[in-house]
Chain A
Amino acid sequence: MLRRHVLALLCCLPLSAVGQERPIAFTGATILPVSGDAIENGTLLVQRGRIVAVGTDVRIPSGAEHRDVSGKVIMPGLVDTHSHIGQAAGGDRSAPIQPDVRVLDSINVRHAGIAKARAGGITTVNVMPGSGHLLSGQTLYLKLRRGTTVDDLSIRLDDGSLAGGIKMANGTNPIRPAAPFPGTRAKSAALMRAQLVAAQEYCAKMADRNLAAERKPARDLGKEALCEALDGRRIVHHHTHRHDDILTVLRLAEEFKLRVVLQHAVDAWLVVDEIAASGAPVSTLLLDSPGGKLETLNVNSAAPAILERAGVPTGFHTDDPIIDSRLLLRQAAMAVRAGMSREGALKALTINGARMLDLDRRTGSLEAGKDADFIILSGDPLSVYTQVLETWVEGAQTFNRADPDDALRATGGYGGSRDAMETDVLEMEGGV
């Protein structure tokens, strides 16, 4: 119990910010807090990894470090709700459902994809295993702090556990010619339901205080993770594309009371009313052309706009390497091109994504008390000509375009992709 308290305390002191006693005041910028209207010539004051104040009449303490960022734009750090950076790995080919497998155990924090994500303004990311399984493992939410181990980047919840979700998939990606993998959509759903029913029984027995210890089932790492999904502590990030597959996900969520985020959901715009009624958020992916795989023939850059109008909480992701992490801002801009509101697009990049990861109390908007996760831009976040100049996580700078090493990560060039993603990441994903 004491240990729990220590961990809980640690969680409130972001690792990189422990030393940041001296406040830093960023002045003169146009601040887009996302939680409210744009602030012209605003001040952002940060200390000990947290935002102290945002506004035009912020009192700057004496002794504060002063950064004049006139003419620049400050907005919350971007939240990428679906990525494969860090050489993420999940289940192997032995079974279609592997909830015991954790992305945590595969992350290489020196992977170039992580550096590029910082260059793209990403501060929080949901690192996922692939979609070649009905359930490929436990995802891991990272703050892209500068660090040397996965522990430096991971996020601890109040109870000391690591923040993350669980990855499921349906449609063609998890379908394979030979058992134990499913051969059809109906079989896919049946296999998943059977596992969830078995988990329900396991979770009930484990939670039953009247059941003697010796009558409890043996510990099952996979079912343990499914219990966390069944009781809502772990959000299900569900890869799905076709309109009928999306409805299958909603049916599953309804039956087992799962909290789902519809990931990709290329056809979401075709079943927008059903999605809106379910309350499930959608993390969208825009592609520069239709096709490439049969499930993305209906890809529609207007999908985010249609979802927004229907009141569906909408976010964006890169699915890096499908879309480069440095182009997440472009996703939002392309959604605006196809009719989404600017405000909606900025929320989709930040607070909506944070909500999809249950991290909105900490990040996703610029408000006093929240983590000091923000980016400094050269101009309008939705302009092609705008550059990410600096990325900050919990009051510490994680990317600075003025630094030649960082600039190399931002543009590419010789050595810019050292520790590059392996081609097997694309193969592992097997689909977007």
Chain B
Amino acid sequence: MKRALVTTGLGLLLAAQATVAQDLAVRAERLYPVAGPAIDNGVVLIRNGRIERVGPADRVRIPDGVQTLEARVVTPGLIDARSVVGLAGYLNQPHDQDQLESSAPIQPQLRAIDAYNPRETLVGWLREHGITTVHTGHGTGALVSGQTLIAKTWGNSAEAATLQSPAMIAAQLGSGAFGAEGKSPGNRSKQVAMLRAQLVKAGEYRDKLARAKADSAPPRDLELEVLVEVLDRKRPLLVTAWREQDILSALRLAQEFNFRLVLDGAAEAYLVVDQIKAAGVPVLLHPTMARQYGELENASFTTAAALHQAGIPFALQSGYEGYVPKTRVVLWEAAIAAANGLGFDAALASISLDAARILGIEDRVGSLEAGKDGDLVLFDGDPFEYTSHVTAVVINGQVVSTVPR
């Protein structure tokens, strides 16, 4: 009954999410630093919210008086490489759905940070399941839907939670981003034409800015200045593309405009691994259990394994659900991938260090290494087994959840 009560205690978000950096030690029967081999009887020592030492228990002394947690298995804090939580709320009513603005097909000026709700129940749900970092923001449904941000799943405000904002600019190719009621873009060719035109315009805007003297500068354009960052390779364009032809369109665009491309979704990536690999493009792969219909009708539980085998950098994501479950949990998506050819180590990396590298935050999170943030997850068994539980979650050295999940 106790579990019953806490399970629904979603509203029981701790009253204050103050970030008090702490000292903490965690002992694990099996420790997965991810950056290196697993350690039996391992210890992670956290000082002032950061990892100070990681190693076997006989080499890492825990100073007297430091709070010590114990677990069968400990992993780095998990990373959800692509989500809309915080913009999309669990009530699924118009007032808590901010992940898509459909008033125009191209709106890169929309910032995730202006909509992100760090107290959203779904953010807490992910946190309790060991997800300590989430790449979230504007979602699918528009040619360019807006910006994303990367946040810890802990913090009293968007600013306090944010690791990086903006992170990427979200775009989508394919039928999921066609205009409604006869509005453009009405098909794939038109989508690419519109995107090319806008990137050309952004390039001209950049050139004008470069040439202009102080008194003749073009007026500031919030939309174009974001796309200039894409052209300048300061910010990746995150392109959702499910179908093989949409994936190739994204690669073609990246080549033409020399922007940093990150593929999102990529249900048919296994058909074009050579092209993706040659382009050096990383993939934020759809949730393994994403429903296999519509544009995902050819999706497979084995695509993660195929990308891994091809040596293509990828990470798993919770994605977007319009209905139930309102968010997926990458821990469970990685579990299904692990069991479908990916294997344990690669699956764990796909929701930790590999995700951090693609998101460009590997100096802070993603593995248990000295100097990184004190983010980790405690389990009572194999993290991927259905019947194991998350027993505690630590962010910045602070125990933020002890709800057994």
Residues of A within 8 A of B (CB): 269, 287-294, 296-298, 300-303, 305-306, 321-322, 324, 327, 330, 333-334, 336-339, 382-387, 411-417, 420-423, 426, 432
Contact = CB atoms under 8 A, between A and B. Distances in A.
Q: Which 7 A-B pairs have the closest CB atoms?
A: A291-B90, A333-B386, A292-B324, A292-B326, A288-B325, A412-B300, A413-B300
Contacts of A423: 293-294
B122 A302 contact: no
Interface stretch (B151-159, B212-220, B332-340, B392-400): B332-340
B336 A384 contact: yes
Contacts of A293: 92, 323-324
Contact of B385 (A303, A384, A422, A432): A384
Contact of A321 (B3, B7, B89, B291): B291
Contacts of A387: 339
5 contacts: A291-B122, A294-B92, A305-B3, A338-B3, A384-B384
B326 A290 contact: yes
Contact of A296 (B289, B324, B340): B324
B72 interface: no
Contacts of A384: 335-336, 338-339, 384-386
A292 B90 contact: yes
A339 B336 CA distance: 21
B329 A288 contact: yes
A280 to B, nearest CB: 20
A186 B321 CA distance: 32
Given A293-B324, A420-B292, A336 B300 contact: no
B242 interface: no
A322 B335 CA distance: 19
A113 to B, nearest CB: 9
Contacts of B289: 324, 327
Interface of B: 1, 3-4, 7-8, 10, 89-93, 121-122, 125, 268, 270-271, 289, 291-294, 297-302, 321, 323-329, 332, 335-336, 338-340, 384-389
B388 A300 contact: no
Given A289-B327, A337-B386, A417-B292, A411 B340 contact: yes
Contact of B298 (A297, A305, A334, A415): A415
B386 to A, nearest CB: 3
Given A339-B3, A384-B339, A414-B268, A290 B125 contact: yes
Given A384-B385, A413-B270, A302 B3 contact: yes
A422 B387 CA distance: 33
A291 B292 contact: no
Nearest to B122: A289
Nearest to B301: A411
B326 A289 contact: yes
Contacts of A420: 292-294, 297
Contacts of A414: 268, 271, 298
